[in-house]
Amino acid sequence: MDTAHRSFPILVALFVLLFGVTSSQPYEEFLQCLEFHDSNITSIVYTRANSSFSSLLESSIRNPRFDTSATPKPLLIFTPRQISHIQSAIRCSRAHRIQIRVRSGGHDYEGLSYSTISPSLTFLVLDLRNLRAIQVDVPSKTAWAQAGATLGELYYAIAAESRTLAFPAGMWPTVGLGGHISGGGYGSLLRKHGIAADNVVDAQVVDVEGRILDRASMGEDLFWAIRGGGGNTFGIVVAWKLSLVSVPPTVTLFTVSRTAQHKGIELFHRWQHVVDKLPDDLIVMASLSRDNVVNPIQANATTIQASFNSLYLGSIEGLILMMEAKFPDLGLRRENCVEMSWAKSILYFAGFPLNSPLESLLDRTISATGSAKFKGKSDYVKEPIPISGFEGIWEKLKEVGVQTGGLILASYGGKMSEIPESSIPFPHRAGNIYQVEEVAFWVEDGVEAADGYLNWLRGLYEYMTPYVSKNPREAYANYRDLDIGRNGGGGEGDYRRARSWGSSYYKNNFDRLVRVKTAVDPANFFRNEQSIPPLSSWR
């Protein structure tokens, strides 16, 4: 035997000793490791051989774009029932060099909580669906909510205790608390109370050493970073302690739509001049999409549709008076308005019929897009876009099919302008009139169709360049967009590269996030294609 052959078994033994695994059986040792920590643990592990594996994986894939045979799949799915299971998963994943992708609600725009762009990556999905207990404490106006709970479950639990308490987070019921608050989390109360991450007062996190930390034991730097600095980066959030806010027992909502023929573009333009200056009890959001004209003279014609969606923390009468004073051009009428509890307003925004029971908030199976795949991008507008700019957007919308692309706009101002940019990692505060989401949806399968829509969306984004924030071109971390930059396929970070997309999401907070990451997870165990890298990655 020559030297190379003789040394081969030694190398393998060394590899196993160091990494505890051979590449041919990566999960058997991992399972043994889990069993070593807890003999009953295998009932919550689903390998690819398990008949429930695919249905479990797919059950919270919220973007069908990543539900294809070509999408890289995890080695196994692990569904912890208690914190000690998470601790074991971290210890065994580290020992056996299996990457963890933690999933709460599964809404990651790029599918990073259950997949990867790297086909060769060995990873497991730590799915928190079983960790969703919620305890509301009305006297202190707080709630502890586990990360696997959905927004709908949180709002339902709050409503069960009080009609006058709420939490200022997102407007789609199945979004998970784990990812949502880790990336910011805004909804209809943002102008009055800021975003979800602004209203977190404590948290329970399992760190890379498997320690269970709360605010006091993790320290203010890590507590700062987890409130908007992105998921799957600093540790696994098990639960959030939330500060609840007061709302009136009845709020008022309206939706008004106008086509281009009915001054849609002019209204949109006007909207930009008033929305951030309205009293903070009122938010008027907007969307712009292409629609069919139902008109015998212009059959088959299409037009632009501008829709305005609003929540007012008060009565219909109060809203009408305010709109007449602040935004008369919209021509709001009483019959456009409807009153309901704040919790029910979530169902309204999600498009449920008006008489839907509050229990609809608990439905974890509803889908925002059905079988349609989607991609989103985001921007921030600081100066009103001129009419000519909107006309160009309209030309862009004409290039895609009806209702397959558009802009969704959330107005800022109010409390958002009062919170300093460095208060938490989410930096998009004073000076923004509104946030833009550019989005494309498509039902066709295949790479060619997808590329067509993706190119269209990138063209729209390009078109928006002169009208949106610059240096950096800001973006919302929860509307994850790998086009603006990413780490390596396995999440290997490079500080300098990450700085470009990191500044878009976090502006000047990026460097502090890197410092926290370096302190709490220097070997970059928690990572994905857009996680904050440690300083050691500086090349």
Q: Interface with ligand FDA includes 236 (CB under 6 A)?
A: yes
Task: Report the residue from 33, 89, 117, 237 that binds ligand FDA according to the rule CB under 6 A.
Answer: 237
Binding flag, residue 102, ligand FDA (CB under 6 A): yes
Give every CB contact of residue 490 below 8 A, 6+ residues apart in sequence. 99, 116, 118, 121, 527
Pattern 358-387, ligand FDA, x by CB under 6 A: ----------x-------------------
- The answer to whether the beta carbons of residues 241 and 200 sit under 8 Å apart is yes
Q: Which of 186, 461, 467, 479 is catalytic?
A: 479
Cα torsion through 50, 54, 60, 63, rounded to 10 = 160
The shares of helix, strand and coil residues in the chain, as percent rounded to the nearest 5, are 40, 20, 40
231 in contact with ligand FDA (CB under 6 A): yes
207 binds ligand FDA (CB under 6 A): no
- Number of residues this chain uses to bind ligand FDA (CB under 6 A): 35
Contact segment (CB under 6 A) with ligand FDA among 51-59, 174-182, 319-327, 385-393 equals 174-182
Task: Decide: is 232 part of the binding site for ligand FDA (CB under 6 A).
Answer: yes
- Which amino acid is present at 454? L
Collapsed DSSP state (helix, strand, coil) of residue 299: coil
What residue ranges in 342-381 does DSSP mark as E strands? 373-381
From the list 528, 529, 534, 537, which residue makes contact with ligand FDA (rule: CB under 6 A)? Answer: 528
CB of 494 to ligand FDA, least distance (A): 19
Quote the Cα angle for 502-504-509, to 5°.
60
Contacting range for ligand FDA; rule: CB under 6 A; set: 4-12, 22-30, 169-177, 487-495: 169-177
Q: Given the rule CB under 6 A, which of 109-117, 257-265, 328-336, 515-523 is the region that contacts ligand FDA?
A: 109-117
Q: How far is the CB of 25 from ligand FDA (least distance, A)?
A: 26
Residue 104 engages ligand FDA in binding (rule: CB under 6 A): yes
Q: Taking CA 397 as the corner, what is the angle to CA 396 and CA 400, rounded to the nearest 5 degrees?
A: 100
Judge whether 479 counts as a catalytic residue.
yes
Select the span of 102-110, 268-276, 298-306, 327-335 touching ligand FDA (CB under 6 A): 102-110
Query: What would the 3-class secondary structure string for 443-471 be?
Result: CCCCHHHHHHHHHHHHHHHHHHHHHCCCC
Name, in order, each residue with C-beta under 8 angstroms of 396's C-beta and a sequence gap of 6 or more.
Answer: 405, 456, 459, 460, 463
Residue 154 engages ligand FDA in binding (rule: CB under 6 A): no
187 binds ligand FDA (CB under 6 A): yes
Among residues 252, 287, 411, 478, which is the contact residue for ligand FDA, using CB under 6 A? 478
Query: Are 23 and 96 spatial neighbours (Cβ–Cβ below 8 Å)?
Result: no
Handedness of CA 233, 235, 238, 244 (dihedral sign): negative
Sign of the Cα pseudo-torsion (202, 205, 208, 212, in order):
positive
173 counts as binding ligand FDA under rule CB under 6 A: no
The answer to whether the beta carbons of residues 520 and 512 sit under 8 Å apart is no
Is 208 one of the binding residues for ligand FDA (CB under 6 A)?
Answer: no
Task: Please identify every residue annotated as catalytic.
Answer: 479
User: By the criterion CB under 6 A, which residues form the site for ligand FDA?
Assistant: 62, 101-109, 112-113, 128, 147, 170-172, 175-176, 178-180, 182-187, 231-232, 236-237, 368, 478, 528
